[in-house]
């Protein structure tokens, strides 16, 4: 496809040169109408202004211009993407007011192809096996089992590094942060598509909350802000346990099984929402293989035995967990910012109130210098729009500029908030205020449903402004992250989302899946008391060795080293 494009480009350049040499017979070859003018004088220049090509010169805001419409004749491309939010007044994303406005601006129409809700992965795999692809795919890298390089090598998606000039604003944004820059290039040095970016970087959006209205009743005289260490937590959990058998002292976050990031981190084990890896000075560590993982299990087993947290912690989902919170049957729980106000407004009990408390450290004065759980400073986000091999070559520049617009100030404003005077207004201080029908819909539509209909949902590639989620929450909710991050250091090291090499992906997947299943079962058995930690630990470590844990760590180490060796000049040739 690229060879054909290069040939066409060469032919066009030759034709342009021939035209320039032959000139316009009406001007350059006719004798001058001015008899005193020398015969060799240049033809008179047209009075029409010459349009300067400033596509590669950023404006005062550092943005690159895009000329609209993108095509004189309507251009249509297809996109595979998950269906609109359940319950929204939409059949496809074409019912979104933002995509309608984008079509009017760009003269580009998208034919959305939506899998049935809940069957996205199954339908994605069916599309892969059929080898009949939509022009574009909007999904997360998790869909691409084996890594994005594998799907490039298998000729499913097109590497885009040779199309850098059509995604200038995207490239300028991704180059602002090293980890984000490296995260948008594959291990093999390809640009697999355009990723969503979160601007500005977002503080913690989830953390622990406590029923501060009950602290006096249970006999705790200090402030919630003083609950900073594991020992502080243990003291408060003991008081809740003594206070009432109807209250679960600590409601374990849903879907975490035996891995709780808030209590792994105090033991130097930094993870996300499940078992995994972290790094110290570029060296990979596997959490369940570390000796301090035993200390974590010992603490959790002790607390479980004392009744400090939910006996059904490994079975809880988000629905049942939230129900327990709203019934007022938990002392300490977990909330995200957007749900915090709802919890305070709907928890049963006279004067029931929740407030945030710090993620605990092991010792007073300790600071977290590694990111974990839902704390990150990365601009890079997971949603990715890629272009498949079934897309017509001529459409690729148009598709890329279509999405590149969404990384500009103007395009990002439209994608995140809709249109001024229709969905939002500016207050006296210049702040964006979404209108009530978006934030408090009288027909019972949720904020997410209204955003999906009038703005752009996070499943697409654009410059996402997370501040839009704060237009309808209280000041208390907006600043609760300061409580959650009270024990965080100023500089936080993060483990990037690395991908193993294609030639080792199958080996890694098989080994890791077996390890992950075994470790989860072991952790739950130890915490719940079904298995003795002291008598089983040595055998557990030996089993990890036999299951080739060292090979899994080695493959991850290779991936991390390769990540930091990625070429950040990929796709940036247009700047030269």
Q: State the architecture of 75-196+381-464 in CATH terms.
A: 3-Layer(aba) Sandwich (3.40)
Angle (CA) 330 333 337, round 5°: 135
Domains of the chain, by residue range, sit at 75-196+381-464, 206-374
pLDDT at res. 87: 65
Contact 77, 110 (CB under 8 A): yes
Task: Report, as ranges of residue numbers, the positions in the chain whose pLDDT lies below 70.
Answer: 1-55, 86-88, 272-275, 373-375, 576
Cis peptide upstream of residue 415 (ω within 30 degrees of 0): no
- Domain 206-374 in the same topology as domain 75-196+381-464: yes
- pLDDT digit string (tens) for 62-106? 889 999 999 999 999 999 999 987 666 789 999 999 999 999 999
Look at the block and give the residue holding tokens 């600071």: 367
Helices assigned H by DSSP within 175-274? 178-183, 215-218, 230-243, 261-264
Q: Where on the phi/psi map is residue 281: left (φ > 0), alpha (ψ -120 to 50), or beta?
A: left
pLDDT at res. 188: 87
pLDDT at res. 5: 41
pLDDT at res. 416: 95
- pLDDT digit string (tens) for 153-184? 999 999 999 999 999 999 999 888 888 889 99
Global confidence as pTM: 0.78
- pLDDT digit string (tens) for 446-494? 888 888 899 998 899 999 998 888 877 899 999 999 999 999 887 777 7
- pLDDT digit string (tens) for 97-143? 999 999 999 999 999 999 998 899 999 999 999 999 999 999 999 89
Which residues make Cβ contacts (< 8 Å) with residue 394, sequence separation at least 6? none
- Bridge partners of 240, per DSSP, are none
For residue 94, give Cα distances in angstroms to 100, 117, 397, 451.
Answer: 7, 17, 21, 14
Separation of alpha carbons 475 and 479, rounded Å: 6
Q: In terms of Cα–Cα distance, which of 513, 510, 540 is closest to 525?
A: 540
Among the CATH numbers 3.40.190.10, 3.40.50.620, 3.40.50.300, 3.30.450.150, which is that of 206-374? 3.40.190.10
pLDDT at res. 282: 83
Which residues make Cβ contacts (< 8 Å) with residue 14, sequence separation at least 6? none
String of b and e for 457-469 (b: at least 16 CB within 10 Å)? Answer: bbbbbbbbbbebb
For residue 418, give Cα distances in angstroms to 82, 292, 408, 433.
Answer: 21, 49, 14, 11
The H or E element spanning position 492 is strand 488-493
Both tokens assigned to 537: 């630990």
**Residue-by-residue DSSP string for 81-117:** -PPPPTTSS-SSGGGSHHHHHHHHHH-EEEEEE-PPT
Task: Return phi, psi of residue 77, to 5°.
Answer: -135, 155
pLDDT at res. 52: 52
What is the residue-averaged pLDDT of the chain?
Answer: 86
pLDDT at res. 443: 84
Both tokens assigned to 81: 């993407």
pLDDT at res. 131: 96
């Amino acid at each position: 496809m690229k060879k054909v494009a290069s040939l066409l480009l060469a032919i066009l350049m030759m034709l342009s040169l021939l035209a320039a040499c032959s000139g316009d017979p009406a001007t350059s070859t006719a004798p001058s109408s001015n008899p005193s003018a020398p015969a060799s004088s240049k033809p008179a220049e047209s009075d029409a202004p010459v349009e300067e090509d400033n596509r590669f010169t950023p404006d005062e805001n550092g943005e690159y211009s895009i000329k609209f419409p993108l095509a004189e004749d309507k251009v249509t491309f297809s996109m595979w993407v998950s269906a609109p939010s359940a319950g929204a007044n939409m059949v496809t994303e074409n019912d979104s007011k933002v995509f309608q406005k984008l079509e009017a601006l760009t003269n580009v129409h998208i034919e959305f192809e939506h899998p049935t809700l809940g069957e996205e992965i199954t339908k994605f795999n069916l599309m892969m096996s059929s080898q009949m692809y939509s022009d574009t795919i909007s999904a997360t890298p998790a869909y691409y089992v084996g890594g994005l390089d594998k799907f490039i090598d298998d000729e499913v998606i097109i590497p885009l590094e040779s199309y850098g000039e059509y995604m200038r604003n995207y490239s300028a944004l991704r180059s602002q942060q090293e980890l984000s820059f490296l995260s948008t290039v594959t291990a093999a040095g390809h640009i697999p598509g355009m990723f969503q970016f979160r601007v500005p970087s977002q503080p913690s959006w989830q953390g622990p909350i406590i029923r501060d209205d009950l602290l006096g009743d249970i006999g705790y005289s200090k402030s919630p802000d003083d609950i900073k260490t594991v020992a502080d937590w243990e003291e408060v959990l003991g008081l809740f346990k003594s206070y009432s058998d109807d209250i679960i002292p600590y409601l374990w976050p849903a879907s975490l099984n035996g891995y709780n990031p808030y209590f792994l981190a105090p033991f130097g084990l930094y993870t996300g929402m499940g078992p995994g890896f972290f790094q110290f000075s570029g060296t990979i560590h596997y959490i369940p293989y570390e000796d301090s993982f035993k200390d974590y299990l010992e603490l959790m087993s002790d607390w479980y035995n004392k009744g400090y947290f939910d006996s059904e912690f490994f079975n809880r989902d988000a629905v049942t967990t939230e129900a327990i919170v709203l019934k007022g049957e938990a002392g300490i729980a977990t909330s995200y910012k957007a749900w915090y106000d709802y919890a305070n407004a709907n928890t049963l009990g006279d004067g029931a109130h929740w407030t945030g408390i710090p993620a605990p450290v092991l010792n007073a004065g300790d600071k977290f210098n590694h990111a974990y759980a839902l704390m990150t400073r990365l601009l890079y986000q997971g949603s990715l729009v890629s272009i498949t091999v079934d897309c017509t070559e001529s459409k690729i520049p148009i598709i890329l500029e279509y999405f590149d617009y969404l990384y500009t100030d103007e395009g990002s404003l439209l994608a995140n908030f809709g249109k001024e005077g229709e969905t939002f207004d500016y207050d006296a201080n210049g702040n964006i205020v979404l209108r009530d029908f978006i934030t408090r819909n009288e027909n019972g539509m949720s904020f997410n449903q209204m955003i999906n209909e009038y703005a752009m949902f996070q499943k697409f590639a654009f410059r996402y402004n997370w501040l839009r989620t704060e237009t309808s929450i209280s000041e208390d909710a907006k600043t609760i992250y300061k409580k959650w991050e009270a024990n965080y250091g100023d500089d936080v090291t993060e483990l990037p989302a690395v991908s193993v090499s294609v030639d080792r992906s199958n080996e890694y997947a098989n080994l890791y899946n077996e390890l992950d299943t075994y470790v989860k079962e072991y952790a739950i058995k130890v915490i719940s008391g079904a298995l003795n930690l002291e008598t089983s630990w040595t055998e557990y470590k030996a089993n990890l060795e036999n299951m080739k844990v060292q090979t899994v760590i080695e493959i991850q180490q290779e991936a991390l080293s390769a990540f930091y060796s990625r070429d950040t000049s990929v796709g940036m040739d247009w700047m030269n």
